[in-house]
Amino acid sequence: MLNQYIWGLYKKSEGSKVIDVFHEGLYDRFSDEYIDMIHNLYGFYCANPEYVDVVRNDLRELKQNIRYNSSYEQTEKEIDLYIDGEDINKCFESFYDEVFQLNEQSTFQAFINSMEYSTTLLSIYYPGLFIPYYFMCNYNVITKIAEAFDIDLPEIPPKANHKARMWHYVELCKSLNAFRKENNLSLSELCAFLYDFAPQYIGGKKSYIVDDLPEPRSAFFIGGGGKNEDSVAEEDADSITRWQCNPDTRVGDMIVMYLRTPISAISSIWRARSVGFIDPFFWYYRCTYIGNPVKVKRIPIDKIKKDRVLKKMPIVKKNMQGINGVELKPSDYNYIVEKTKADVLKLENSFEVDSEEFPNEKAVEDKLIKPLIKKLGYEESEYKQQLYIEIGNHNYALIPDFVLSPATSKGHYSGYAIIEAKRSITSEKQMEETKTQARSYAKILGAKYSSIASQEGIWVTSSRDDYTKDVFSASWEELKNEDTLFELRKRIGNE
């Protein structure tokens, strides 16, 4: 919820001017002052200066084209009475009547290509119903704002449903107006909250752009246009830009840029500066902010297709089609780094066993399982050893050896995965007995995966078939291979 005391302090200080400019710009006369203010506010939370300039240019065009109507003469109190009888869906359809004659994809593309322009105009023509949208390229920011202030955002539609993605704006307006009324905000106060107060509260660009990058866990391909600014972006070592990528991308991950025709080559390697996220108003839907580009010795497509290692990659067999967000095996990524002689980090995903002496189960836990859990991305606070699960009338308990991502509350226990430890498993009978034991823990916890680990190796089963068939198994020696550990991390890692 919005803290009324802090909000009151904001309104008495720098916020009063922002509120006044929003009121005058949207409900009196659209002005250069309004455009300059939006440009400055947007620059605080958008990491790409080019997008900030696009918004300013769109609003300047709106100022030239706008035709005023009688709604400008209304006070905000009168507007609140006026909107009660209006249907936001009908107003949206009326405004986009001509555009709706196109197919759904073309309609959606026309909408997002002029979103700042059109949503500002909608807010002027239908005050109180629509809210100007200045989060283009930054749906992650409005998501963070919603989390910080308990705003109930509408569910994001699937990528293929372009009509629903366009109408998501209308549903977003409904949610934000509900928040406005719950907190007794005027229309101009809501805009000041969204584009000044809340971004300052969460930290602006610093809320999602990371400077001190952690070690990379994964690597992904992205594709850029060989004829346009994409090939220029890699020239600027300080460049930060949003790109279509995998929503599973984590901060610090390695991003390999493949430039299309006419270059058609691997050209640079970047770092993920933000986590991946979904933006329903971005045509390509899946986003990550990337930066720190390092130009490399290019590998053209003809050499990629002939290379003994690279030609085996599935994306090469698809002629590099659909490349954005394709995850690279650690061995393939490291091979690209070696081949291009790039001065960038490699993926260190192998697991080395410290000792070959395991006299008891505790030695397996301390020398194998705990180091492995750390390698899988879990801090000590993110797993529980010997979780005590009460059953029935407190006279019986189950105690799984390790629970990954546990959650406990009174009478309820859950976890993402369990690992049951044994010193040694040397027979099929032992394996089945241990699987049965582990399955009972996993089912009670609602775990996605059930795992068994002994000095011989690790075995993972899934809830999909009631923890019956192994979906992964490897010896500790095999886990020294970077790709094998990568596959295990895809199952039970802290992703």
What b/e readout covers 385-423, taking b as 16+ CB neighbours within 10 angstroms?
A: bebebeeeeeeeeeebbbbbbbeeeeeebebbbbbbbbe
Predicted confidence at residue 393, as pLDDT, reads 56
pLDDT of 340 above 60: yes
449 and 468 Cβ atoms separated by less than 8 Å: no
Work out the number of other CB atoms within 10 angstroms of the CB of residue 123.
22
For residue 149, give Cα distances in angstroms to 68, 183, 447: 34, 11, 31
Q: How confident is the model at residue 146 (pLDDT cuts 50, 70, 90)?
A: very high
Segment 440-463 mean pLDDT: 94
Confirm whether pTM is higher than 0.75: yes
At the fourth CATH level, the homologous superfamily of domain 219-340 is: ph1033 like domains (3.10.590.10)
Write down the CATH number for the domain with range 361-492. 3.90.1570
Q: Residue ranges of the domains in the chain?
A: 4-206, 219-340, 361-492
pLDDT of 360 above 90: no
Phi/psi at 349 (nearest 5 deg)?
-115, 10
Tracing tokens 């009460």 back to the chain, one arrives at: 390
pLDDT of 460 above 50: yes
Q: pLDDT, tens digit, for every residue of 264-291? A: 999 999 999 999 999 999 999 999 999 9
SS3 content of the chain, % helix, strand, coil (to 5): 45, 15, 35
Segment 415-439 mean pLDDT: 92
388 and 380 Cβ atoms separated by less than 8 Å: no
Q: pLDDT, tens digit, for every residue of 305-317? A: 999 999 999 999 9
Segment 434-455 mean pLDDT: 93
